[in-house]
Amino acid sequence: MVHAAKSMLAQVARPEAAWITRLEAPSPSEGAGAGALAGLRFAVKDNIDVAGVPTSAACPAFARTAPAHAHVVQRLVNAGAQVAGKTNLDQFACGLNGTRSPYGAVPNAFDARYVSGGSSSGSAYVVATGEVDFALGTDTAGSGRVPAGLNNIVGLKPSKGLISTHGVVPAAQSVDCVSIFARDVQTAVRVLQAAVGFDAQDPYSRKLALDERPFAPGFRFGVPTQLAFFGDQMAEAAFDEAIERMASLGGVRVPIDYAPLAEAASLLYDSALVAERYAAVREFFDAHEDEVIEPVRGILAAGRGYTAADYALAQTQLRALAQQAAPMWDGIDLLLLPTAPTHYTVQAMQADPVVLNRNLGAYTNFVNLLDYAALSVPSSLRPDGLPFGVTLVGPCASDLRLAQLGQRFHHATGLPQGATGLPLPQPEPIVPAAAAEVAQVVRVAVVGAHLSGMPLNGQLVERGARLIEATRTAAEYRLFALPGTVPPKPGLVRVPQGEGAAIELEVWEMPMAHYGSFVALIGAPLGIGTLVLESGATVQGFVCEALATQGATDITHLGGWRRYVQERTAS
């Protein structure tokens, strides 16, 4: 049985199998929210932690209640989004079809006889049917793309390390990504920009400078010379149509040799690399193997049979294939691929779960192994009413470039949003969150009297500023209560490494035209400088002259100005 907490969502026709846990609606005051994602609700794949809710990875014996949000969930909540609940998946994120769960198979949003795609099946379904605004999935071999392609929605598979996987049950940790499902590209990008942030708790997290250049007319898109649709003529015709649409947007088709990409993809399951899937849950699996369903059990068990030398050899083979594939990018700007080559019924998939599952990943498995970015967008509805999607693949850090082109492609289709029947919203420019000059805004961090609800917050609001996120500084600052300031204000001072702590703050975005008048209001000993956030990013923010802290009360241990004000008021 699916855990059935009281739904915060409208009661619409849907299979309970899509959900693991649904959360109660917050009260209007609790749900007001502020930030870049204010007003949006999202679902979380049940291998990603949500505080106070069990994380089962679709294995009841594995379930444990998460003590805190996963890093990515916390960032989205900080940006104003509300968690709607946890969604079903192929057990331990091992599968691309959505039928490998003890909670039931998640059907396709357009025809319940067909698979939804996996492993992020429930997340894709609740986005496609309009129950949430976006959802988090994970993607190791295509789990953030195949369900998008089969359900007429967008699946954004970011560059590895761009979004932290801390608080995510690993599938194959070195290639895992948190993915984003939405009904349009612009929403997916908003979520990406809120989710991005370096996290030292994730051993594979990294800081990437995203390429923001739009594709110029005459851009070259690679199409494999060897394409397989497994006898599905409607899918083949739909891909031909997609190629013509990409050409109509100014692209030039370039044939590419798919062989090295296909060979790299085969290593994920047919080499010692599968040992990483076993390693991810080894302690649980060795003690509770009988609690794991087939064929997941057989896949994980296969990882036991490889030696460290086997794994090292497989990694070397992968690097050799990466070198072989690299020259491809000299002749193209991106790849255009079918997201999934065909649709399968639930009945057919359950009768032949390994081969048909592998077929669904024919154009996805290589992407993370070779460190590429990818975006799946809807392309058409076939004559049988089932969706067909395509994936744009680019080099690492090309995420925003793919989004710009993917949005143009998606809107050129004239398709509705998912399975809702609603038209796509008007497209918005895809701009980097940090490119303040492009958007003519500036971001400023506040730590004291300008925080939400504090006496000077109106100085921000009256200048049209909006709250982007609540976060903390890097652990290299000290905070002081400055004597004699009206209203009371703190002073933030950067100190040598090891002598400071992380201090709570808010990041606000203000129109550049009003920034000068805001800064003019700031009097000594305060000023504006560059602050380092816990994510590693930098932002303009309030700083204090060190001399002014002599004799001031050090309140660093409280972690922020709000706590100090609360304790002072209580006393």
pLDDT exceeds cutoff 80 at 9? no
**What secondary structure does DSSP assign to 433-448, as a single string?**
TT-HHHHTEEEEEE-S
At 214, list the tokens: 């739009």
Nearest C-alpha neighbor of 83 from the set 142, 30, 157: 30
Determine the pLDDT at residue 536. 78
Tell me whether residue 2 is in a domain.
Answer: no
Domain containing residue 121: 16-219+336-413
The rounded percent of the chain whose pLDDT value lies above 90 is 82
pLDDT at 31 over 80: no
CA distances from 180 to 243, 252, 259, 324 (A): 25, 28, 29, 30
> 391 and 517: one domain?
no
Query: E strand or H helix at 301, and its extent?
Result: helix 296-302
Question: What number is the average pLDDT over the span 491-503?
Answer: 94
Query: In this structure, are 407 and 458 located in the same domain?
Result: no
Catalytic residue status for 207: no
Looking at residue 203, what is its pLDDT? 96
458 domain residue, yes or no:
yes
Predicted confidence (pLDDT) at residue 431 exceeds the cutoff of 80: no
On whether residue 423 sits in a domain, the answer given is no
Q: Is residue 500 part of a domain?
A: yes
Residue 314, domain member (yes or no): no
Among 190-194, 265-269, 438-442, the least confident range: 438-442
Among 45, 86, 157, 489, the one annotated catalytic: 45
Model confidence at 399, pLDDT cuts 50, 70, 90, reads very high
Co-location of 93 and 208 in the same domain: yes
120 is catalytic: no
Question: Same domain for 496 and 532?
Answer: yes
Confidence band for 26, pLDDT divided at 50, 70 and 90: low
pLDDT tops 80 at residue 444? yes
Give a yes or no: residue 274 inside a domain. Answer: no
CATH number at residue 365: 3.90.1300.10
Compute the average pLDDT of residues 260-287.
95
Q: Please state the rounded mean pLDDT for residues 352-379.
A: 97
Residue 346 has pLDDT above 90, yes or no: yes
**Do 415 and 378 form a contact (C-beta atoms < 8 A)?**
yes
Query: What average pLDDT does range 139-165 have in this prediction?
Result: 98
Q: Mean pLDDT across the stretch 553-569?
A: 93
Q: Do 21 and 122 have their domain in common? A: yes
59 and 158 assigned to the same domain? yes
Q: Is 316 exposed, middle or buried (0-12, 13-18, 19+ CB in 10 A)?
A: exposed
pLDDT bracket for residue 462 (50, 70, 90): confident
pLDDT surpassing 80 at residue 438: no
Mean pLDDT check: name the lowest of 32-46, 173-187, 234-248.
32-46
196 and 60 fall within a common domain: yes
Confidence band, pLDDT 50/70/90 cuts, at residue 433 = low
CATH number, residue 509: 3.10.490.10
**pLDDT of amino acid 497:** 87
Q: What is the mean pLDDT of residues 31-56?
A: 89
Could you tell me if 494 and 404 lie in one domain?
Answer: no
Q: Look at 14-23, 27-36, 52-61, 339-348 and tell me which has the smallest mean pLDDT.
A: 27-36
What mean pLDDT do residues 63-76 have? 96
pLDDT exceeds cutoff 60 at 354: yes
Reported confidence tier of residue 34, pLDDT bands at 50, 70, 90: low
- How many domains does the chain divide into? 2
Find the catalytic residue in 101, 120, 121, 143.
143
Assess whether pLDDT exceeds 90 at residue 232. Answer: yes
Q: Assess whether 450 and 558 both reside in one domain.
A: yes
Does 368 share its domain with 453?
A: no
Q: What is the pLDDT averaged over residues 529-535?
A: 88
Instruction: Give the β-pairing of 372-381 and 334-338.
Output: unpaired
Give domain status of residue 239, yes or no: no
Which parts of 326-446 fold into alpha helices (H)? 346-351, 353-360, 366-369, 399-413, 436-439
In order of 272, 273, 306, 314, 315, the CA distances from 309 in angstroms are: 9, 11, 8, 9, 10
- Structure confidence at residue 440 as a pLDDT band (50, 70, 90): low
Q: What percent of the chain has pLDDT over 70?
A: 94
pLDDT(231) > 80: yes
The per-residue pLDDT for 51 is 96
Instruction: Tell which of 360, 381, 413 closes a domain.
Output: 413
116 is catalytic: no
Flag whether 312 is in a domain. Answer: no
Instruction: State which of 413, 448, 478 marks the end of a domain.
Output: 413
For residue 435, pLDDT beyond 60:
no
pLDDT at site 186: 96
Residue 503, token pair as written in the block = 């201090």
Provide the pLDDT confidence category of residue 515 given band limits of 50, 70 and 90. confident
Q: What is the pLDDT of residue 140?
A: 97
Find the mean pLDDT for residues 102-109.
96
Quick one: pLDDT at residue 314? 96
Supply the pLDDT for residue 570.
Answer: 83
Catalytic position from the list 101, 116, 119, 159: 119
- Both 398 and 446 in a single domain? no
156: helix, coil or strand?
strand
Distances (CA, A) of 226 to 262, 360, 374: 10, 16, 20
Contact 63, 79 (CB under 8 A): no
The more confident residue out of 566 and 1 is 566
Boundary of a domain, candidates 349, 379, 413: 413
Task: Give the pLDDT of residue 432.
Answer: 63
Report residue 187's pLDDT band, with 50, 70 and 90 as the boundaries.
very high
- Global pTM reads 0.77
Same domain, 174 and 34: yes
* Total number of residues shown for the chain: 571
